Structure 1
Amino acid sequence: MAGIVGVLAFDKVWNVSKFLYYALIGLQHRGYSSSGVVLLNGEFYKHREDKSPEDMRLNGEGWAGIGYTGKERAYPLVYEDVAVVVDGILKNPEALRRLPKDPEKTLSELEGAFSLVALTREGQMIAYRDESGLKPLTLGGFGFDMAIVASENVAINVIGGEARREISPGEMIIVDKYYIDSKRLKEPRRNYCAIDYVYQSRIDGKINERDIYALRVRIGEQLAKERPIQGDTVIGVPDTALPFAVGYSRATGIPIDLGFTRTGSPIRTMLAQDSFLKVVGVQLKLNVVKSAVFGKRVILIDDSMVTGLTLKNTVMSLRRAGAKEVHVLIGSPKLVSHCPYGVDVPKSSDLIAANLSDEEIAKVIGANSIYWLSLKGLYEVIGINTICVGCMVGRYPKVM
C-alpha cells in the first residue's frame, strides 16, 4: 500500500515542495516506512529517505513535482525523461521509459494492479489508474494556479486544494501549463479493494464515490443487525473504527464512550515493519480511559484482525482498566489469505482467522466473544458486487 501525489503549477514562479511535503503527510496512513519526492526545475531533483514523510528534510525547489510514501524503496523512479511514482504492483516498470514519447501506448501495455503519477522533463504530468480500479486516484486543483493528483482527496484538502473528481479505472489524465486532457484507455471493471473501505482510507475521505465516514457508520449499523449484544458501552478503536462504534451505538441505543486517548503519532500496526511495533503498537499509540470502562460490559469494535496481537493487547488493556466483559466485533469479514496486489495482508499461515475457530480466537485474545461482519453484509453496505475481497475468500479478480 502506498500514497502518491503529483503537483504541477501553471506558472514557474511557484515552488511546490511544501505542497508535496504536506500532501504526503496527509497520505502516510497508506504507508510510511519509505518516502521520496522528485521536483522539476529545469532538471529533476530527487530526494528519498527510509523514513516517514514528516521526518523528511526536503530542501529542493521546483514548479512541479511528484511524491511517494509507502514501503517500496524503489520509488520515485527517475529515468532520463520521466519520473514516476506508483501505488500497487507493476510487472513491467521499465516500459515507463517510453511514457513521454507515447503515453497512450505505454500505459495500455502496462501490466499490474496500480495507479501512477508521472512527471516528464518537458513539464507534463501524467496520471493513470488501471482498469481494475484497485488503487484509488483523485484529480483536483489549487484555484487556477495548480493541478493536483493524489491517492485520496484528503491529501488535496489538507494543502488547501479542492478535490474535483476521482479518476476512473482505465482513465489517463495529461496536464501541462496550458490544458488538462482526459482519455479512457480501457473499460473499467470496478474491482475496488474492500480493505480501502473498511481500513485503509482516512475517515474524512471519499473513495470510489463512497463517503468513508458514512459508509463505516453503516457498517456499525449492519453489525448491530447481525450481532446484537447486551452491553454497557460501545467503544471503537481509534481512528478507523470510531465510525463503526457510532453506527452500532445508534442502532442499539447502547451509549458510546471514548475508551482510548492517543499518546503520540498514529502508528498503523498493520503497516509496521518493526516486529516490536506490531506487538506493542497499541500501547505506544493509545491509552485506556479507565472511567469509561471500569466495571462495564464493553463492546469493543475494531476494523480488522490480522495476527491477533494488536487486539490481544487492546483487550488486555481494557481488562487491566477494570472492564467486566469485553465482546469484540470486527467491521470486516475474516482475513484468510494474502494479497497479491500490494495490500499488507500476510500469508494464510500468519492470519489468526485462517487457523483458529472463533472460540479459540476469543480465548487467545482474552475476549468473552468475537464476531466478524459477514461478507453479505459488506456487499450490502458498499453496494458494489464486483469489489475485490480476495483476502477474505482466497479468490481474486484477474487483473494482470
Structure 2
Amino acid sequence: MGGILGIYAFDKIWNVSKFLYYGSIGLQHRGYSYSGISTLNDNGFSTITSNVAPEDLDVKGLEGWAGVAYNGTKQGYPLATDYGVAVIDGIVKDVEGLLKSVYKDPEKGLQESKGVFSMIFLTKDGRMIGYRDESGVKPLEIGGFGFDLAILSSETSGISVIGGEFKREIQPGEMVYIDTYNVSYSRIKDPKPRYCSIDIIYQSRIDSHVFGLDIYDVRVKIGEQLAEEKRIDADVVIGVPDTAIPYAIGYSRKTGIPFTLGFTRTGSPIRTMLASDDFLKVIGVQLKLNPIKASIKGKRVILVDDSMVTGRTLKNTIFSLRSLGAKEVHVLIGSPKLISYCPYGMEVPEEKDLIAANLSDEEISKVIGADSIYWLSLEGLYKVIGHKSLCVGCMTKSYPKEV
C-alpha cells in the first residue's frame, strides 16, 4: 500500500518539487519503507528514490512543472516506463501493459484494466491521468492551489499541508485528465463502491476527508458506539496516539468517564502495523510513546486502540501501564476482529499471524495482560458509517473483487 501524489502546474515557470516533497510528508503515514519523487520538465524526467521516509529525501536540484510522488511499502515507485512515470496504490495486473495502453488511449486502456487500485500517471508528453477503479477500495482526491496547480492525492492531508484547497473525490470508476489547458472527468466503469474499512479505522490521518467522511468525526462516533456496546466501570479512558485518541474521546463523552492523556510522544510517529522490521514491531510503542505515570498510577484504565493485528504492541503497552501502577487495564478495539489477510495491498498479515483469528477473547486477554478485551461489532461499524458499501474482507473473509 502507499500514499500517492501528483501535482501539475499550468504554467511551466513553476517548480513543483518542494510541493511534492511536503505533500508527500503529509501522506507518509500510509507507509514509509520506500519513497520517491519524479518531476517532468522540457529535458524529461528526473527521479529520486530511497528506502527512507519522504522527509529524508533530498530534492535539491530536482526541477519540473509537473511531477508525482510515492511513499509506502512497495519498492520501485515512481515507476518509470517508456511512456511516462506512474505511482499506484493497490494491486494491478500487468502494470506496464496498462500504462502503454493508457498512454495511447486513456479511456480504452482504463476500461480494459484489471485490479484494485488508484493511479496517477504523468505521461512523457505532459499529460496527467488519475484513475480510481470501480470498487473504490483505494482513495483518490483532487484539489488545487489557486488557478496555478492541480493536485491529486490519496488523502486530503496531501493537499492541505501545502496550502491547497480540496475540490472533490475522484469517484469509483472515474478518470481525471489534466493537461495545460483543461481538467476533465470521464466515467470509465460503473461504480461498485467497497471502501476500505481499515483506511477509515486506522490508515487515514485524523485530519483527512476520505470516502466522503471526515475521519476525526467518524472515529469519535466509533468511540461512542463502543460505549453503547460495552460499558466498563473504570476511572480513566486513554487512547493510543494518534489514531485512537478520537475513539477514547468518543467513549469518554458517552460514558462520562474522564478522558486523559496516557502517553507522550518520543520522536517521529511510527505506524507499527506497517513496520517491516520485527524488532520495530515489538518496541515500536516505546519508540514513539512513553506512558504518563500520573495519569495511570492506581487507576482502573480503559485503553482504546484502533485495531489489533498480532497483539505484540498492545502487550508491550499494557506491560508499561501495569509497571507504572495501573490497577486494571481493559482494552477496547475500534474495529471488528481482523481474521484474514488483505489481497489489495493493505498490510494485514495472513490468518496464521492474526491473534483474533486464532485465540478466544479470554486467551487474548491473558496473552496481552489485559483484564478484558472487546472489539467493535461489524454492525456497529456499519451503523457509524451509515451504509454497508465497505470492504470488510479482512474481518469476514469475503472480498468484493478478485485480483
Common fold by TM > 0.5: yes
**CA drift at 1:343:** 0.4
Partner of 1:12: 12
Gaps of 5+ in 2: none
Partner of 1:23: 23
Distance 1:107 1:228 in 2: 49
Distance 1:222 1:99 in 2: 44
Partner of 1:71: 73
**CA drift at 1:111:** 0.8
SS in structure 2 at match of 1:334? coil
**CA drift at 1:399:** 4.5
Once the two structures are superposed, what CA deviation does each residue of 1:59-111 show, in whole Å capped at 9, x if it has no partner?
31001000110111121111122111000001110221232221111111111
Once the two structures are superposed, what CA deviation does each residue of 1:314-353 show, in whole Å capped at 9, x if it has no partner?
1011111111100000000000000001000000000000
Q: Please list, as runs of the form range in 1=range in 2, the aligned pairs for 1:267-306 lying within 5 A after superposition.
A: 267-306=270-309
Q: Please list, as runs of the form range in 1=range in 2, the aligned pairs for 1:208-357 lying within 5 A after superposition.
A: 208-357=211-360
Distance 2:207 2:402 in 1: 29
Once the two structures are superposed, what CA deviation does each residue of 1:365-391 show, in whole Å capped at 9, x if it has no partner?
000000000011011111121211000
Kept after mapping to 2: 8 A contact 1:132/1:399? no
Instruction: Compare 93-102 and 126-135 and name the one that shifted more.
Output: 93-102
Kept after mapping to 1: 8 A contact 2:78/2:85? yes
Distance 1:357 1:79 in 2: 49
Distance 1:189 1:32 in 2: 30
1:192 partnered with 2:229: no
Gaps of 5+ in 1: none
Specify the code of the residue in structure 1 equivalent to 2:102: L
SS in structure 2 at match of 1:213? helix
Kept after mapping to 2: 8 A contact 1:82/1:97? no
Partner of 2:41: 41
Partner of 2:59: 58
Partner of 1:365: 368
Specify the code of the residue in structure 2 equivalent to 1:289: I
Distance 2:289 2:100 in 1: 45
Partner of 1:145: 148
Specify the code of the residue in structure 1 equivalent to 2:216: Y
Kept after mapping to 2: 8 A contact 1:6/1:117? yes
Partner of 2:167: 164
Distance 1:395 1:113 in 2: 15
Aligned-residue Cα RMSD (Å) equals 0.8
Match of 2:391 among 366, 388, 396: 388
Distance 1:199 1:94 in 2: 31
Distance 1:322 1:97 in 2: 61
Distance 1:247 1:295 in 2: 23
Once the two structures are superposed, what CA deviation does each residue of 1:249-272 show, in whole Å capped at 9, x if it has no partner?
000000000000001100000000
Specify the code of the residue in structure 1 equivalent to 2:16: V
